[in-house]
Structure 1
Amino acid sequence: MPDNASHTPSQPPLAALGRQLVDAEEDSLPPPSAPRFRSRGTKLLFGASLVMIAFNLRPLFSSLSVLLAEVTHATGLSTAGASLLTALPVVCLGVFAPFAPELARRFGAERILLGALLLLTIGTALRGVESVPLLFFSTLLAGAAIAVSNVLLPSVVKRDFPESAAIMTGFYTMALCAGAAAGAGLTLPIESVAGSWSGALAAWAVPGLAVIFIFAPQALSARMPRARSAFRVVGLWQDRLAWQVTLFMGLQSALAYCVFGWLAPILRERGFEPAVAGGIVSLSVMAQVITCLAVPSFAVRRRNQRGVNVGLVALATAALLGLMFAPTWTVPFWAVLQGIGQGGLIAAAMIVIVLRSPDSHVAAHLSGMAQGIGYVLAAIGPLLVGLIRSWTGSFDWAAVLMVTLGVAAAWMGSGAGRALHVGARTVSVGKAG
């Protein structure tokens, strides 16, 4: 692949959190217009709805992890089958994300978000039926909904709250982490109340149902768009730097979803009580907030992001090894460190998409490439962890996989962190009629 990158101009100080947001509808003509809110209260309610939607995008991953032993025991699902189940929603993030911009152009981002939230709620509720085929189908349905929401929610935040994008991004980020932490920490207590693993998994449909009632009137009252794609980006898929950004996104995500999918079972195998294991995962996820919020502002002020990316990979990987092998009394310490490293990696992967792009159209397409290819690649991580457990009877050899992913992520992160622009350009394909 030729290295078509060109030097990037120096980066001025900016509201780095808001800069993370990539507009998935950037190519639309006419550009989508922000809604006209009747009052400040209406705007605040809309913003709160977006934050609540974000909260619902992560319990699907973390709630299953803490109950994986109960699910496999009750259903007879093999370890290989459990691996496929944990990897399936991550695959969905890559496969269905590219459809989001076109759906938004046709029907409006708000309506598509509402439809995705409805599918997510239905898929989550269907996990209450103790059937293996239905468990896979419901996970596929919910994973597809999350994929579309992942793409459109930041776009809506950027469009409707341009003057407070950084604040809204902070709330959005904290809601994502809170949802993941709640899924890890509260699912087992819910199981003790519900009396079954299926009831505990299905209970996470309740927050989604509540947001539907709040968000539906706002989404359905939004104006229908009359837009089409009026730009295209050429040269992106042949660019070496674009692939480094994409692979960095995928490899760091593979580490993240290994934590979501398998950290609780790893800790339970080490002798931790199920509720304690879930609490440790919750602690690690909440620690991600620290660097999710701090790293963008720090990273964009560096001459390049190579050291930031490599350092965060090293921290996240070393902490994972600590969680697997260090004395059990040190596990909470390693959990916090892993969260700090992983949260910073998530932010760093998003910020390099913007910093490596010469314009907003390229950023939107590079984001689509990084998510589409990256998340499919990321699914290999949790899939292989489960297969290694099945083949060896232990999670110990998964450490080799973690180190391999970490080394590869550091290599790609070093390349993606160079102060260059991808060698792609935006081409207009005509004016709006």
Structure 2
Amino acid sequence: MTSTTRISRLTAVWTLIGLVLLTVNLRAAITGVTPLLGDLRESLGLSGVEVSVLTTLPVLCLGVFAALAPPLARRLGTEVAITGSLVLITAGIVLRIVPAQPALFAGTVLAGAGIAMGNVLTPAVIKNVFPRRLGALTGMAMMLMAGSGAIAAALAVPLNDAGGWRLALAVWAVPSLLAALAWIPLTRKTANATERPTPHARTSTEGSLLRVPLAWYVALFMGLASLMFYVLMSWLPEIMRAQGYAPATAGMMVSVMMIIGIPLGLLVPMAAARMRDQRPLVLAVAVTMVVGLGGLIAAPHAGWLWVTVLGLGTGSAFPLAFTLLSLRSATPSVAARMSGMAQTGGYLLAGAGPLVVGVLHTTTGGWNVPLGLMLALVVPEIVFGLLAARPSFVHSNPADPERLAASTSPAVSTPEDVPTASR
């Protein structure tokens, strides 16, 4: 394409509706399962190992299938790929209600694959259709993901009590099906906007991002941020129970940590997009993580204080990393490719975190060593975050000697720089 194509107002509005419906479905199918593990184990005869696999499988799927999204989007179109991802989520949810172990695991893989693709393509859609609203719409996406995930977890037990675990799982097929139907018109109507590079950064759709250092910095920052979150989500109740807190209180602490992240999912991307240099935000995240993890080791009796601080840290880190996928990409296609690379490596790294921490706890018989490891991992998280947050852009031609071009312009592109939806 050689000229800018303006997207019609109707298409932009419909894309916004589709984006809302898409992001609502990118967590619920995962978080709505964990509260039902006891009933699933009893009904389907799952062993302890099988339950562990079931809880780890979604995170691994987010990593494994993320790499498929960019090539599918290039071959079929972003809108078609997103529609397909929502169909996979719906099919996976429906398959899981079949009362058989193979169906439960196969459905989890299908839903995980669809969620992985939706995760990767969300930044590309925002950058392509709403380049002047990167912060606000990335924040909206993060808030809807966190909010829908929390709602799904909260409703799982009441729905199970009302109609059994099959109803509790099946209900989330309704919003995913509605989202798929909403994206179908976009597969026919969307005009493809030209991908003009942001000033000071030359781009090419050829070459591997694996040879671009900045892409690695963003990927590693996202991976470590995700690892911290999933480790705490998995083990914080056990850590607090070991300190004498009641099981119900320990479980409530995880919920509070997730709830704190909901408004931060909106505010952090908006703040990041207004800043030319996001390194102050990285340092703020690092301070909260050091204080929270250090507090759990040194003064675990003040558990609620440290949980609140960790909620601020984990609730800010992932939205910041997710926003950097767009802010550091010169074009929507590069955003999709970097999102695929970062989420593939990031979620695979995050999936290993809870396992390693669990093994360390079993080996040492306590939580100080695992928490010490997490505290040590804050150091590389800071380093990669600072490198990723510098004002520069990724382009995808490793043969180009100017792999990275430091920007002297604001992080948010101006109307003349990129294609936009007509007002």
Amino acid at match of 1:343: G
Instruction: Give identity over the alignment, percent.
Output: 36
> Which moves more between the two structures, 282-291 or 179-188?
282-291
Structure 2 match to 1:367: 339
**CA 1:47–1:365: 2 relative to 1, 3 Å:** closer
Amino acid at match of 1:170: G
**CA 1:417–1:62: 2 relative to 1, 3 Å:** same
Secondary structure in structure 1 of the residue aligned to 2:210: coil
Secondary structure in structure 1 of the residue aligned to 2:21: helix
Unaligned runs of 5+ in 1: 1-28, 429-433
Structure 1 match to 2:321: 349
Q: CA deviation at 1:134?
A: 2.5
Aligned length: 392
Unaligned runs of 5+ in 2: 196-202, 401-423
* Partner Cα distance (1:133, 1:322) in 2: 43
Query: Is 2:205 the partner of 1:237?
Result: no
TM-score (norm: length of structure 2): 0.75
**CA 1:115–1:240: 2 relative to 1, 3 Å:** closer
Is the 2:224–2:377 contact (alpha carbons within 8 Å) kept by the matching residues of 1? yes
Superposition pairs of residues 17-416 of structure 1, within 5 angstroms: 29=1, 36=8, 39=10, 44-72=13-41, 74-162=43-131, 164-196=133-165, 198-213=166-181, 215=182, 217-219=184-186, 221-222=188-189, 231-232=204-205, 234=207, 236-263=209-236, 272=246, 280-296=253-269, 298-299=271-272, 305-316=278-289, 318-319=291-292, 330-331=303-304, 333-353=305-325, 364-387=336-359, 398-416=370-388
Is the 1:107–1:224 contact (alpha carbons within 8 Å) kept by the matching residues of 2? no
**CA 1:118–1:241: 2 relative to 1, 3 Å:** closer
Is the 1:249–1:374 contact (alpha carbons within 8 Å) kept by the matching residues of 2? yes
Superimposed CA distance per residue, residues 294-313 of structure 1 (whole angstroms, 9 cap, x where no aligned partner): 33454567785445324313
Is the 1:56–1:208 contact (alpha carbons within 8 Å) kept by the matching residues of 2? yes
Is the 1:184–1:281 contact (alpha carbons within 8 Å) kept by the matching residues of 2? no
Q: CA deviation at 1:54?
A: 0.4
Q: CA deviation at 1:352?
A: 4.0
* Partner Cα distance (1:135, 1:237) in 2: 35
* Partner Cα distance (1:96, 1:280) in 2: 31
Superimposed CA distance per residue, residues 274-323 of structure 1 (whole angstroms, 9 cap, x where no aligned partner): 6x666543432232133333334545677854453243134246536767
Amino acid at match of 1:258: V
**CA 1:291–1:411: 2 relative to 1, 3 Å:** same
**CA 1:155–1:362: 2 relative to 1, 3 Å:** closer
Amino acid at match of 1:281: V
> Which moves more between the two structures, 401-410 or 219-228?
219-228
**RMSD of aligned C-alpha atoms?**
4.1
